[in-house]
Amino acid sequence: MPALHRLLGQGGTRLSNFLVSTGVCCPARTSLLTGRLAHCTNVTSNFWDMQQAGGFRKFYEQKLDREWLPTLLTAGGYDTYLVGKFLNEYLENATFLPPNTTYKPLGLAHSEALTYRAYHYTNSCFSVNGTPSVCFPGQYQTDFIRDRATDLISRAAGAQRPFFLAVTPTAPHRANNGSSPIWSGPTPASRHAGLYLGERIEVPKGPNWRLPSSTLPRSPSRAPEASYRATMDTLHLLRLRSLRAVDELIDAVVQALDAAGVLDNTYVLFSSDNGYHLGAFGLLDGKNTPIEEDVRVPLYVRGPGIPAGAVLPYQGNMVDLAPTILALAGLPIPDAMDGLPLPLNPDLEALHAELLRAATPGPVPPTAWPRPLRDTNILEGWNGEYIKPELYNISMHYKGLRLCTEAKLLAAPRNASALAAEPGNAARFVYAPNLRCYKYTVWCQGHGGLFDLSTDPYEVLNRLTAAPSRVLDRLDAVLSALVHCRGTECRSPYGLLHPGGGVYNFTEALDPKHDSFYATLPKLRIRSCTVIYMYDNELTWRQLA
């Protein structure tokens, strides 16, 4: 994606350690637009299924559009626009809506949202402001969205009012014609069908390629190596080809902003609602697990006051985007939002620190870090794609803590140097100077995992049995504090654990004087595997202490 790297990478800041807490389309998009974690919205799936877990209907019935980014920006004087994918299963005339009504996303001055055949790249349908859907056979979806986006930029800039525009193509998602259960690889634009022809394009194959996982409840594919490798390589190539049109869309958007004379006064953000695994642990291609392939996603930001050509290693989260956009717009951040503004420049960094300290009651703690930043993020999943109850033993229902701290929690494994020497391994190491990142997970099946991402970014060495009990006590307690958090509670788990103040990061929590406190806290336990969030099903010290 040369335009992305030139215009937003060299022209802005890239976050190298950015996460999505729930790596599935609909939950992640809901988190992006509301600034709330999936357990706070209870949109845990892409579909309104037997458990009423997700999709547009869950979003609608939870009334999540009452206080979300579009309504907040509109109230702050912004014109708001969307073109492309809104939410899974969105239809303007859905059968569950009141009679003789249609739905247009609240707070949007103008929307052109995908409806029928959202994943049909050459025959997608759109609803404009809730009017009946119109389909565009023969038009390549990414190009259509590109052209509509540039038109909307001209229109919005011409109104001489501040504006927000969400441009959301589906590429490089798998393709589906809307009438078949069969999904194929993404469809590139015809001009890109031969891209990389004659080149040896292979999916990256790290140390976890087809390796049985010690934590994931699903077994590796039994397909022969040659056919498995060919399938993954083909999907990888199709994804790269379909992304070239997305790259051209980015170029066109930036050019349109420049032509309208507003580029220097506009923030441009690029990200994805989930990652994607292709060969990791022998799984079929997909998402919805807590592995790095699924939860690490790109984030690029350019705009006034944003350093150019910078790489920010801060561990940001999808729920931080709404607070960040509100802060950049000079608007207040509601306490109902779980995220914090990303520390992209000194002003945002100061606001981040202010809100982080406010989430820790009691006396102002001493400043241990030169820059007080949040060090924790929760990862959570409830399967995301509905499965039959008899298959719950392979459910992706988990809770996880991703921690980046200055403290060294684990001794380096004996084969750490060998891991570092693996071909391609360097590209996956977590860039977090002076910090070490860890991942702790608890699964509904009763097992768990602990990985040192600083030495083992492919998560092949489960260190759970090697960790000191005092470390595990704290990891479990901090994760448990986040499992049921709401609003400002989610910004700092230490405020819940230490309401008297004095502890605002994991390093402070490691003080030996807290050993007995953490040792006595009940450990997190998920009673049964489910596809939705249920408070009484995920037992923590907050309920049991």
DSSP H or E segment with residue 128:
strand 125-128
Is 437 in a helix, a strand, or coil?
strand
Q: For residue 457, how many C-alpha atoms fall within 13 Å in the half-sphere facing its CB?
A: 20
Q: Encode burial over 352-377: b for 16+ CB neighbours within 10 A, e otherwise.
A: bbebbbebbeeeebeeeeeebbbbbb
Q: Tell me the C-alpha distance between 515 and 525, whole Å.
A: 21
Pairing of strands 79-84, 110-114: parallel
Is 176 in a helix, a strand, or coil?
coil
Helices (H), 260-330: 292-295, 321-328
Q: What is the pTM (predicted TM-score) of this model?
A: 0.94
Q: Judge contact between 303 and 25, C-beta under 8 A.
A: no
In this predicted structure, what is the pLDDT of residue 251?
A: 98
Note the residue count of the chain.
545
In this predicted structure, what is the pLDDT of residue 349?
A: 95
What values do phi and psi take at 341, rounded to 5? -65, 135
Q: Tell me the C-alpha distance between 76 and 363, whole Å.
A: 34
Is 69 in a helix, a strand, or coil?
helix
In this predicted structure, what is the pLDDT of residue 425?
A: 61
Q: What is the mean pLDDT of each run of 10 residues along the chain (545 residues)?
A: 96 96 95 97 88 91 94 98 95 91 93 94 96 95 98 96 97 85 90 94 91 88 93 96 98 98 97 94 92 96 97 95 98 97 96 91 55 90 66 78 94 68 62 88 94 92 95 98 97 93 90 96 94 95 85
In this predicted structure, what is the pLDDT of residue 392?
A: 55
In this predicted structure, what is the pLDDT of residue 421?
A: 61
**236 is written with which tokens?**
């990888």
In this predicted structure, what is the pLDDT of residue 59?
A: 95
Amino acid, res. 530: T
**421 is written with which tokens?**
């020497």
Q: Judge contact between 74 and 99, C-beta under 8 A.
A: no
What values do phi and psi take at 47, rounded to 5? -130, 150
Q: Tell me the C-alpha distance between 489 and 53, whole Å.
A: 24
Q: Tell me the C-alpha distance between 380 and 36, whole Å.
A: 13
What values do phi and psi take at 379, rounded to 5? -115, 135
List, edge to edge, every strand of the sheet that includes 125-128: 134-135, 125-128, 110-114, 79-84, 163-168
How far from 412 is each of 124, 351, 451, 457, CA to CA, in Å?
51, 36, 11, 13
Q: Where are the domains of the chain?
A: 376-544
Burial of 333: CB neighbours in 10 Å, binned 0-12, 13-18, 19+:
buried
In this predicted structure, what is the pLDDT of residue 504?
A: 85
Q: Tell me the C-alpha distance between 103 and 489, whole Å.
A: 33
What values do phi and psi take at 425, rounded to 5? -65, -35
* Closest of 337, 301, 340 to residue 320, by C-alpha: 340
* Contacts with 531 (C-beta within 8 Å, 6 or more apart), sequence order: 44, 45, 49, 51, 53, 382, 383, 384, 386, 387, 395, 397
Positive or negative: CA dihedral 100, 103, 109, 110: negative
DSSP H or E segment with residue 402:
strand 397-405
* Contacts with 147 (C-beta within 8 Å, 6 or more apart), sequence order: none
How far does CA 374 lie from the centroid of its chain?
17
Q: Judge contact between 41 and 68, C-beta under 8 A.
A: no
In this predicted structure, what is the pLDDT of residue 419?
A: 63
Q: For residue 171, how many C-alpha atoms fall within 13 Å in the half-sphere facing its CB?
A: 30
